Chains A and B, each alone.
Chain A
């Protein structure tokens, strides 16, 4: 189950990038589609609240291949991989994923969260020392429209 903080974090990144969010869940053999959809409902609710278009996709298969295929199929601009466990990165690397796609990948370890509230260190107080996230972001794809007006000064 995705926790609220994780969903908030990713939704906020998408909102600030002015992006559509494609959320991919790779189901385990035992997992049902209903259960998979339920686990991502927070993204749908967040998207509605924050006016970020959210597209939920459920797939089965090997992690790296499914992420790459889905990312290419949806023409995403940025793949966001939540790394709660070292094996996700290891699987990504071992699968030669960096050679199979040139879509940029943003890795976010599980302990990074609270992006929506985050201010630069000089601006934020000690009260923003948040506790660690409890559940992983797994295999998410943000369709980030990296706007020209977002860049440069």
Chain B
């Protein structure tokens, strides 16, 4: 049994603790993220998703409970950089994450903070830009790129740190459809091909459907967890959590109800195509 990459144990987080405005955002969350796993975290507005994400790379520290990344406690004062090297985050707004005037400098920023030798940094930046398919734009000013390209620059900056896990916090929600495709294909490729763990925080149920496993949060607690097929079969519970199955899941249920011979729980385009029109 492979040990988990990230362990979260009875995690509580309260904003403004000890004041009249104290707000409990996480109330006893326990979960593991395995190496190379793709985990989607879904939930209504205010359910605690982004708070949980920020605990995965020590941007927030537990009010109580424990988060460990690769065995390192995020509260260990010497551990924060080690944790952030292993878990990289990309947020919603592409413009808020750009720090340099040229793409390759932006990608190198994190490595420079690690104090790596220049030759090593150059190799890592080359490799990261190749992986996200932006080597031709390395000399460009980031603000001239499309939203999807900016997010891929941010992903490259994370990759250059040689992380074990990538966390995307609503990273596609501001993008046009092409930008959404670019970012999802890049991230899923890293997970499936290169064995990087991927945590997707998302309101887009069709993105969550691509994960190995889904966790649904409600008021700072885990309300549901399972495979996408298991989760999206729970209609009434989902709607209580302000969620709903993706469009295609609704189509699948309608077709099954019509007596069409397809397996229940189909969620993705590929699965539908194989079930309805298999290759001759």
Q: Do these two chains interact?
A: no
Q: Contact residues of A with B, CB < 8 Å?
A: none
B interface with A by C-beta (< 8 Å): none
